[in-house]
Structure 1
């Protein structure tokens, strides 16, 4: 029997909640994770119409990009669309889950999907995150070092960029003496022991620390395992906001605008002045991305594709880049497709539906 929590745990293994911004509210927002799953409805936003669609489709889990609740609610009386939506979902036993900025920040997330739709190559994170990486150091008997290393790698440690199974190993000698209550793997209790060991160093993201340490303790032969955890200032190149990549062939600026218009089905694109230069490198950020403008410029992007640019923010481009505001909804619309691909691949026995409700609150005349 598959439960709602099985879906949410999977989604959080792809986009850990640790990666969400401080203002965000990703995760299971409404519902019982222990409830048996019937089917899933995927949407960008949760509205009353989306909940009605879930009811009609007999879906008891809505997976959305934008959280229906951002800040705390003191009352749920139905006075606005958020409260009415929640009330309708509660009455019909429909759970609501959101993966928002945590899904934005992973390599294969929202911005990766935008890059894919545009056809960008050699894509990488535009603004890699700091404060996520940690170093694990442990000490293993020589004959068991390979076993422990492989266990750590299988738990997600040792990834640096496009390389995996990364570690540094040095030989040394460990000493220990167990008291009368111990059962040492090597040596005898009550006697000082000297053991040839390997110091194994590897790297991991902090959201995997619990899993990696549990794996270490299970794989290590010692009764008491010595290890150190260090926080690192290094940027984590696989996690962060925005992405940047290159076109297979250079295009004119007008051709890029037409490509964006056709790909994202938008009737209008607000943009800064064209620079009359060929376009090769494009930076993207789904949703509101003005905070990444300087990063895009510093990275040498010719175009910055995003949404929600304010009037005065367009001036900040200073003719160093073309900003193309394609709209918030338009930039993130393919997130539904991303969810669908992830869920149907990993839960093929369940019905996963794409919502047919257009939740874009912005209309163009």
Structure 2
């Protein structure tokens, strides 16, 4: 099995196109054509994790955070990034990062946090726009079911928890085949009118190529007429953060204690507690202060994230409680998430979780 097989599978779950513009997810070192000897999942790819991979005969590190984030003009080993890259290249270790694209799916980093907290009715806190497209094509009525089924199988027609969503309307199509054509119906050189169905369905942008392959493979016409439109609709399955509900309302102190227990915390930075029961929880793994306004607008009682700055705590404005549990702490179980995803797919392959604690922040208690 090549590294490409593994990274392609990961990108079928968290498409690379979902990463933010500032991000650098993907294969950072090594070759996609290498045969993979084993995988180590980690939050951060550090020199110690590279050494661990060498010792355990794993030549692929799947990390959440990209070790190369900005451009590298020199690689001299002067800092931890350069040291890690040198060690990986010298020892033929591939490093693959699955970062904001994993953040931006409902079952990704935030979904793992929500699962650990037992949240119900989970949904994306700030859905993305510009992700959805609409395919419109025109099919002879007799072949419409076959084409529709192929497009559904390729992933089109998903709206929230509903699948196989489409719309058709009947009309008349005309065409005249030129020299050398072999039309499905009609005679070359003569205008033909045929009863056709206008078939419409939406799809996420990253499946466009597969969708067109399915369309062209099943449509009976030599020249297939179709249109693709970019939609401004928000795609409820992708975006930043997550919001859900506890099984029952509890006090603020009880929820803080739950956070400590679930995430193994020694300390939580938070805004003043409010005199009301806590049930609706918004969260975002990593640095999530940019979603404070969205959490308030969604009616959250608590917003759980990391890396909140001093002045950003004021943004709670007594409308919810902001709980900063730490960047590493909020994302630490991403290691388990990646392990479970890969282990379920590649049952007879070496998939390991790192034993290195990569958190650079320590607390004196």
TM category, shorter: over 0.9
Give the aligned partner of residue 65 of structure 1. 64
User: Counterparts of 2:294 and 2:111 in 1: how far apart (Å)?
Assistant: 17
Give the aligned partner of residue 142 of structure 1. 141
Q: Deviations over 1:251-310 (max 9, x none)?
A: 100000000001001110000000021001000100000000010000000000000000
Q: Once the 2 structures are TM-superposed, how far is the Cα of residue 52 of structure 1 from its aligned partner?
A: 0.6
Q: Once the 2 structures are TM-superposed, how far is the Cα of residue 75 of structure 1 from its aligned partner?
A: 1.5
- State whether structure 2 residue 150 is matched by structure 1 residue 186: no
Give the aligned partner of residue 210 of structure 2. 211
User: Counterparts of 2:274 and 2:78 in 1: how far apart (Å)?
Assistant: 49
5+ residue gaps, structure 1, are none
User: Counterparts of 1:307 and 1:77 in 2: how far apart (Å)?
Assistant: 32
5+ residue gaps, structure 2, are none
User: Counterparts of 2:178 and 2:55 in 1: how far apart (Å)?
Assistant: 67
Give the aligned partner of residue 238 of structure 1. 237
Give the aligned partner of residue 75 of structure 1. 74
Give the aligned partner of residue 220 of structure 2. 221
CA RMSD in angstroms, aligned pairs only: 0.6
Give the aligned partner of residue 335 of structure 1. 334
Describe how 1:311-330 pairs up with structure 2 within 5 A. 311-330=310-329
Q: Once the 2 structures are TM-superposed, how far is the Cα of residue 77 of structure 1 from its aligned partner?
A: 1.2
User: Counterparts of 2:71 and 2:312 in 1: how far apart (Å)?
Assistant: 30
Give the aligned partner of residue 88 of structure 2. 89
Aligned partner of residue 65 in structure 2, secondary structure: coil
User: Counterparts of 2:282 and 2:77 in 1: how far apart (Å)?
Assistant: 41
Q: Once the 2 structures are TM-superposed, how far is the Cα of residue 74 of structure 1 from its aligned partner?
A: 1.5
Q: Deviations over 1:58-95 (max 9, x none)?
A: 00000000000001111211111111111111111110
User: Counterparts of 2:173 and 2:346 in 1: how far apart (Å)?
Assistant: 47
Give the aligned partner of residue 133 of structure 1. 132
Q: Once the 2 structures are TM-superposed, how far is the Cα of residue 213 of structure 1 from its aligned partner?
A: 1.1
Q: TM-score, normalised by structure 1?
A: 0.99
User: Counterparts of 1:38 and 1:143 in 2: how far apart (Å)?
Assistant: 50
Q: Deviations over 1:287-346 (max 9, x none)?
A: 000000010000000000000000000001011000000000000011111101110111
Give the aligned partner of residue 248 of structure 1. 247
Give the aligned partner of residue 277 of structure 1. 276
Aligned partner of residue 190 in structure 2, secondary structure: coil
User: Counterparts of 1:104 and 1:110 in 2: how far apart (Å)?
Assistant: 5
User: Counterparts of 1:270 and 1:25 in 2: how far apart (Å)?
Assistant: 30
Q: Once the 2 structures are TM-superposed, how far is the Cα of residue 35 of structure 1 from its aligned partner?
A: 0.5
Aligned partner of residue 161 in structure 2, secondary structure: coil
- State whether structure 2 residue 112 is matched by structure 1 residue 113: yes
Give the aligned partner of residue 151 of structure 2. 152
Aligned partner of residue 65 in structure 1, secondary structure: strand
Aligned partner of residue 343 in structure 1, secondary structure: helix
User: Counterparts of 2:77 and 2:153 in 1: how far apart (Å)?
Assistant: 48
User: Counterparts of 1:71 and 1:325 in 2: how far apart (Å)?
Assistant: 26
Q: Once the 2 structures are TM-superposed, how far is the Cα of residue 214 of structure 1 from its aligned partner?
A: 1.4
Give the aligned partner of residue 164 of structure 1. 163
Q: TM-score, normalised by structure 2?
A: 0.99
Matched length? 364
User: Counterparts of 1:78 and 1:279 in 2: how far apart (Å)?
Assistant: 49
Structure 1 range deviating more: 204-213 or 137-146: 204-213
Q: Deviations over 1:202-236 (max 9, x none)?
A: 00111111111111111111100000011111000
User: Counterparts of 1:169 and 1:337 in 2: how far apart (Å)?
Assistant: 44
- Point out 4+ residue stretches in structure 1 off by more than 2 angstroms: none
User: Counterparts of 2:352 and 2:127 in 1: how far apart (Å)?
Assistant: 33
Q: Deviations over 1:140-183 (max 9, x none)?
A: 01111011111111111100000000000101111100101111
User: Counterparts of 1:40 and 1:319 in 2: how far apart (Å)?
Assistant: 46
